[in-house]
Amino acid sequence: MNILITIFALLSTVAPERVDSVMLPMIDIVAPLKTTDSDGKGAYSSTVVGRSALESRHINGVKELSAVVPNFYQPDYGARMTSSMYVRGFGSRIDQPVVGMNIDEMPLLNKNSYDFELFDIDRVQVLRGAQSALYGRNTSGGAVNVYTLSPLTFQGKRLVLDYGNNNNLRLKASHYASPNSSFGWSVALHYSHSDGYFMNRELGEKCDGGDNLAMRLRLQWLPSQGWSLDNSFSIGYADEGGWAYKAYDPETGTLAPVAYNDACTYRRFNVSDGLVVKRFFDNITVSSLTGYSYLDDRMRIDNDFLPLDYFSMGQYQREHSITQEFVFKTRNDGVLNFVGGLFGFYKHTNLSAPVRFKQYGINELILKNANENYYHLLSGERELSLVEDNFVIYDDFVIPAYGAAAYMQAKLEIGNLNVEAGIRANYERSTMDYDSRSLVHYKTHKSDTVPYVPLNTIYRGENSVNAFEWLPSFSIAYKADGWSAYVSARKGVKAGGFNTQLFSDILQTKMMGALTGNEQQVDAASTVYKPETNWTYELGTHLSPLADGTLDLSATLFYIDCRNQQLTVFPKGMSTGRTMSNAGKSYSYGVETELSYRVGNFRFNASYGYTHARFIEFISGNNDYAGNTLPFAPRETMSANLAYRMPVSKEFAHRLLLCVGWNGVGRIYWNEENSLSQAFYGTLQASVLWEKRHFGVSVWGKNLLGREYNTFYFRSIGNDFFAQGKPAQFGVSLHVNL
């Protein structure tokens, strides 16, 4: 509907001639809404990566900002669906993220949508530390703000053709126009294809290739004095493989080739529309942000990742979400400035997660267990058998969620001293209706004369989780010429939720109980996990010591105190599921530094992050993991990038740019025991760009030394698996700017 409103607004501007004499206020319609500082160096830890850096380094997704942003890590877990982010030791493999993501101020409420192609992006801002006072749910670790190109600030046509090894193809085409000073429109298209990098030995084909298609339409209009409308509509489709998981032998410490017998695929279709309406008064700006998104995705995986007929799993999700926010922000540079607002959301999810047990899985996980531990101990010709050589456990869920919040953050400037305080009242509620069921036919005697009888196992019910949180924030900053320093304290929250992936295990337990005559009531409490909260404390500084502004430095010391930490736990033994557990208490402390220096034709950027994150309390079964390092997040991140504009004649090139970069990550522990880990590793990137007038050619490479490293670990039915990072990548890119 928002796109229709803006189209009607566009039609109303049609006239026989341009009206350039309309006096418009001095407004910046693309400025960030939720900040009270004007220089981007407020009392927070932040990294901004602009369009030039994104394009010269061939950064195609937020994942490639790992290590470039200190203490930020978004690994490649095997598919776009698994787009987990880790900041300062905290993160989440499944369900709720610790980092919120906003595109042109519109929040994405489902992290399945986080992994998308960055094309025609003006800048990406990564805020580290709790941001919940202003951004709300699931920003206990930070927020990623993506800003696309505005047709009112950029006009022209852009075409990019990119081709690399393994038949990697990217095609980007866009058009930006502003027929008059008060209206602009743009359309941008993206298509990518990859044959993949990892061969599935069992199927004899690469398992991680795929296609991705996206389109974005943006309309911006200044209809009259003091008004602006900005509508962005996007649609995307991805169809890919993934999950190139290799079995790990703990005795030899080696990885087997990828080898599983059921194809793994992921398909995602998403639509989103966001309308931002701003009214500019003399001293305040009032903004209305209305967002709608639709997500339809389908995952199919060989859940045992072995060349055996254990079981396979699907996950089919359809989700509608609506957000509405009103933001009030002062427009002057007076003594007192504030930003505040009201926020509400509604999200409705239909989710199906069927698990199909196959012959080998039935024999090993059900019949063998029941016969060895029960029926073979009985007298007579007793043995459990099923008539089915495969059967399905159906898990269907309906999960509506809604929430509301009111917030305010004010800054008082007293000379060089800035005192800032904020508070957010945040409430949300989620409900899960679950319907888990399966039908098999069984008998418990060897005799052929005994008939099979049906066993219909059903587990239905409803659970809910709701939470109200006060989310305060405080900071004191001192600003002088060329430097500033600050201390801050902020509370963050990560929403609670439901362990939908646990239901197949619950139904297996009920089924085994019925088959052995020992059926027990299953407690549904384990299917719910509580919100995670933390307090983030920072001491930081921003420095620009040179008068010409060519050197920028920043440094931050942080400490995080976390309660009810949400942690993905893999059950012991031959279990097939995983669960999100509230681990108890944990803490994290560390440092972040960034440097940017420009001299002559050189530009140098570097960053370093160190995190020491450990459990204070965490007991799982009979194991006490207090003092152990939090898994899945790196202890250190490092990055160094050098760009050199080589002096050449204008007849040869208008720009000849050499870029060399190195990113390092590690050590990463893979389990609560800290018995498995990935050592620190680094990857090398480089590119050479030639440009003349409207045309350009770039030759580029990533992980040029072919460094092998692991990005993910998990355990299933007693087996360990790892995913590895992509090998060396290289290619050539052609672009046209008109």
Record the tokens describing residue 64, joined without a space. Answer: 């490639």
Average of per-residue pLDDT across 547-562:
93
- Residue 24 is predicted with a pLDDT of 40
DSSP 104: T
- Residue 498 is predicted with a pLDDT of 85
Architecture of domain 2-11+39-737: Beta Barrel (2.40)
For residue 25, name the pLDDT band (cuts at 50, 70, 90): very low
For residue 198, name the pLDDT band (cuts at 50, 70, 90): very high
Average of per-residue pLDDT across 66-87:
88
Q: For 13-27, 505-519, 592-606, 607-621, which range has the lowest pLDDT when averaged over its residues?
A: 13-27
- Residue 92 is predicted with a pLDDT of 81
Q: Calculate what percentage of the chain has a pLDDT beyond 70.
A: 93
- Residue 604 is predicted with a pLDDT of 95
Average of per-residue pLDDT across 552-566:
93
Cβ contacts of 536 within 8 Å, gap of 6 or more: 129, 130, 488, 489, 490, 491, 492, 558, 559, 560
Q: Label each residue of 334-387 as H, E or C.
A: CCEEEEEEEEEEEEEEEEECCEEECHHHHHHHHHHHHHHHCHHHCCCCEEEEEC
* Mean pLDDT across the chain: 88
- Residue 727 is predicted with a pLDDT of 94
For the segment 372-383, what is each residue's pLDDT rounded down to a tens digit? 888 877 777 888
CA dist., res. 69 & res. 72, Å (int)? 5
- Residue 697 is predicted with a pLDDT of 95
Q: How many CA atoms lie within 13 A of 607 on its CB side?
A: 25
For residue 509, name the pLDDT band (cuts at 50, 70, 90): confident
Record the tokens describing residue 103, joined without a space. Answer: 């595109």
- Residue 20 is predicted with a pLDDT of 32
Average of per-residue pLDDT across 316-335:
91
Summarize the chain as % helix, strand, coil (round to 5). Answer: 10, 55, 35
- Residue 15 is predicted with a pLDDT of 34
Q: Which helix (H) or strand (E) holds 257?
A: none
- Residue 26 is predicted with a pLDDT of 46
The domain spans of the chain are: 2-11+39-737
pLDDT over 50 (residue 12)? no
Partners of 91 in beta bridges:
86
pLDDT over 90 (residue 507)? no
Average of per-residue pLDDT across 29-53:
78
Average of per-residue pLDDT across 13-27:
36
- Residue 31 is predicted with a pLDDT of 61
State the pTM of this model.
Answer: 0.90
CB 494 within 8 A of CB 426: no
β-pairing, 205-206 with 210-221?
Answer: unpaired
- Residue 27 is predicted with a pLDDT of 52
pLDDT over 80 (residue 65)? yes
- Residue 398 is predicted with a pLDDT of 96
pLDDT over 90 (residue 128)? yes
For the segment 201-227, what is each residue's pLDDT rounded down to a tens digit? 999 999 999 999 999 999 999 998 889
CB 522 within 8 A of CB 510: yes
Partners of 367 in beta bridges:
none
For the segment 226-274, what is each residue's pLDDT rounded down to a tens digit? 899 999 999 999 999 988 999 999 989 899 999 999 989 999 999 999 9
Q: For 118-127, 234-243, 398-407, 612-621, which range has the lowest pLDDT when averaged over its residues?
A: 612-621
- Residue 2 is predicted with a pLDDT of 47
Handedness of CA 203, 204, 209, 210 (dihedral sign): negative
- Residue 38 is predicted with a pLDDT of 59
Average of per-residue pLDDT across 713-731:
90
- Residue 499 is predicted with a pLDDT of 81
pLDDT over 80 (residue 19)? no
